């Protein structure tokens, strides 16, 4: 099975208040996020972590927490994963089967683009490819609103998904409900960068 998650922010006390996460302290948050992953991800499953594994803790502390997470892990760098060196993640590389800023994935006959940041456009967007991202800490309504907007862009972050990872089956069910938008006219913007109506 394939799973996706993002924006765990392990060790980040302030994210509890900033995102109104239902945890009393950072230890409870760390333990619950890891438990929520391990409840569904098997050691042989693939787990794509789309950035911001931790914040305000050392790479060594982060690596120890990541070591406890089940699955064959693939890391897409987030803005909080590259604080020491913009080219190299400081976590133990032996924990991940892949590390990088961007990844293309084809599964179930579907093209996926994986990146920490949501993009306005991406490879094969007009052929139905799906953008998976994190970073924005959206609430669960975001992914539903993307369906209405005919945008195949899905936030796999924990804040949008009940503080748990998202299975590829869940994403594929969402894709089936998201129309493929093939508008012939490109978006036009004013000189101030605002979208023209």
**What is the percent of the chain with per-residue pLDDT over 90, rounded to a whole number?**
83
Closest CA to 89 of 101, 73, 103: 101
Q: What is the mean pLDDT of the chain?
A: 92
Task: Supply the pLDDT for residue 187.
Answer: 52
Task: Supply the pLDDT for residue 174.
Answer: 97
What is the torsional sign of CA 23, 24, 25, 28? Answer: negative
What is the torsional sign of CA 149, 152, 153, 159? Answer: positive
Closest CA to 6 of 15, 14, 94, 24: 15
pLDDT at 51 over 80: yes
Cβ-based burial of 113 (10 A; exposed 0-12, middle 13-18, buried ≥19): buried
pLDDT in tens, 1-19: 999 999 999 999 999 999 9
pLDDT band at 180 (very low <50, low <70, confident <90, very high): confident
Residues 149-154: what's their mean pLDDT?
94
Closest CA to 52 of 110, 109, 8, 104: 8
Closest CA to 118 of 188, 187, 51: 51
pLDDT band at 89 (very low <50, low <70, confident <90, very high): confident
What is the torsional sign of CA 130, 7, 20, 162? Answer: positive
DSSP 153: E
CA 152 from centroid of its chain's CA atoms: 14
The lowest-confidence range among 84-88, 131-135, 140-144, 175-179 is 84-88
pLDDT at 183 over 60: no
Residues 84, 87: Cα–Cα separation, whole Å: 9
Task: Supply the pLDDT for residue 82.
Answer: 81
| Domains of the chain from N-terminus onward | 2-177 (3.60.21.10)
Q: What are phi and psi of 66, to 5 degrees?
A: -60, -35
pLDDT band at 185 (very low <50, low <70, confident <90, very high): very low
DSSP 138: -
Rounded (5°) CA angle 10-152-98: 45
- What's this model's pTM, rounded to 2 decimal places? 0.90
Task: Supply the pLDDT for residue 184.
Answer: 41
pLDDT in tens, 67-83: 999 999 999 999 999 86
């Amino acid at each position: 099975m394939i799973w996706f998650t993002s924006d765990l922010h392990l060790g980040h006390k302030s994210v509890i208040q900033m995102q109104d996460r239902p945890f009393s302290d950072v230890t409870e948050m760390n333990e619950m996020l890891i438990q929520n992953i391990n409840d569904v991800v098997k050691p042989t499953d693939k787990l794509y972590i789309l950035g911001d594994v931790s914040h305000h803790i050392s790479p060594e502390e982060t690596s120890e927490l990541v070591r406890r997470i089940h699955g064959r892990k693939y890391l897409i760098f987030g803005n909080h994963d590259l604080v020491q060196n913009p080219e190299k993640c400081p976590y133990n590389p032996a924990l991940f089967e892949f590390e990088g800023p961007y990844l293309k994935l084809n599964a179930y006959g579907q093209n996926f683009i994986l990146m920490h940041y949501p993009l306005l456009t991406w490879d094969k967007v007009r052929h139905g490819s799906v953008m998976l991202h994190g970073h924005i800490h959206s609430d669960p309504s975001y992914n539903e609103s993307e369906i209405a907007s005919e945008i195949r862009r899905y936030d796999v972050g924990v804040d949008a998904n009940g503080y748990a990872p998202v299975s590829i089956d869940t994403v594929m069910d969402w894709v089936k409900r998201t129309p493929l938008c093939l508008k012939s006219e490109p978006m036009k913007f004013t000189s101030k960068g605002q979208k023209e109506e």
